[in-house]
Each structure stands twice: as structure tokens, then as C-alpha cells.
């Protein structure tokens, strides 16, 4: 986990001090790739908190999701349709779902499952 955090910090610093200009023709593909990668990382964090993390599932998920997103974006470009927007909407829905599950997992870990469930049932009443 420490290596992942160090890699993230290093990547942010490199990106801040050595900005890269991406040609406009590749902007859609880059956006889809970044959002897809972010979705996979949040999914891995959620799985890790739930004790279900697997490196092979993570790597295959990243490669499959990003490849499928790129193919759909490419087909959309060839058909003159903005299919990349559909891909981004799906990824963003998954990101929000993962964030919600991360929040719940963290709350149950730090507050205890009984307290969180009690507060949930109390809010519904």
C-alpha cells in the first residue's frame, strides 16, 4: 500500500513539473483512459477493505475496461457519435458506487458495524 501511495505522489509531482500536452485528437481517449483507471483503482481499494482484493483480477480489470472503453470510443469516432460520453457516464456511476462502498467500509471499520447499522435504521425511522 505504501508503494502505491509513493507512486501516486511521484506521478503527481512529475505531472506538475513536467506538463505534457496531449493533441486534441487524443483527448477523448485520454479522458476515457484516466477515468477508467481511476474507477479500477477505487474498485481495488474497496475490494482491499472488504478483504476480497486480487492482483490478477485488478490487472485484468484495468486492461479489459480500458480496452473496451477505447474500442467504444474509437467506434463512436468512426460513426461520428459521441459514444465516449456513454463510457464516461458508466465509469462515473461506478466511481460513485465504489466511493459509497468505501465510505461504508471505512465507517464500519472505525465505528463498528452495529453502530453504523443502528444509525442507518435510526435515519429511516
3-state class (DSSP) for residue 21: coil
Residue 2 in this model has a pLDDT that exceeds 90: no
Q: What is the mean pLDDT of residues 19-44?
A: 90
Domain boundaries, the chain: 24-124
SS3 label, residue 112: coil
Task: Please return the burial class of 51, using the count of CB atoms within 10 Å of its CB with bins 0-12, 13-18 and 19+.
Answer: exposed
Beta strands in the chain (DSSP E): none
Average pLDDT on 18-28 reads 88
Give the phi and the psi of residue 52 in degrees, each rounded to 5.
-120, 15
Q: What is the mean pLDDT of residues 54-67?
A: 91
Answer yes or no: is pLDDT of 92 > 70. Answer: yes
Q: What is the mean pLDDT of residues 3-30?
A: 88
Can you give the pLDDT at residue 1? 65
User: How does pLDDT run across 100-124, given as a tens digit for each residue?
Assistant: 999 888 888 887 777 777 777 776 6
pTM: 0.76
Burial class of residue 44, CB neighbours in 10 A (0-12, 13-18, 19+) = buried
| Whether 72 contacts 84, CB under 8 Å | yes
Which residues, 6 or more positions from 22, have their beta carbon under 8 angstroms from its beta carbon? 30
Amino acid at each position: 500500500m505504501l508503494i502505491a501511495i509513493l507512486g501516486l505522489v511521484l506521478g503527481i509531482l512529475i505531472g506538475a513539473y513536467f506538463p505534457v500536452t496531449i493533441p486534441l485528437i487524443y483527448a477523448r481517449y485520454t479522458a476515457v483512459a484516466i477515468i477508467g483507471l481511476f474507477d479500477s483503482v477505487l474498485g481495488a481499494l474497496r475490494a482491499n477493505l472488504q478483504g476480497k482484493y486480487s492482483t490478477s483480477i485488478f490487472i485484468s480489470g484495468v486492461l479489459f475496461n480500458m480496452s473496451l472503453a477505447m474500442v467504444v470510443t474509437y467506434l463512436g469516432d468512426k460513426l461520428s457519435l459521441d459514444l465516449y460520453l456513454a463510457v464516461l457516464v458508466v465509469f462515473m456511476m461506478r466511481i460513485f458506487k465504489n466511493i459509497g462502498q468505501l465510505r461504508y467500509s471505512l465507517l464500519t471499520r472505525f465505528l463498528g458495524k452495529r453502530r453504523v447499522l443502528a444509525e442507518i435504521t435510526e435515519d429511516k425511522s
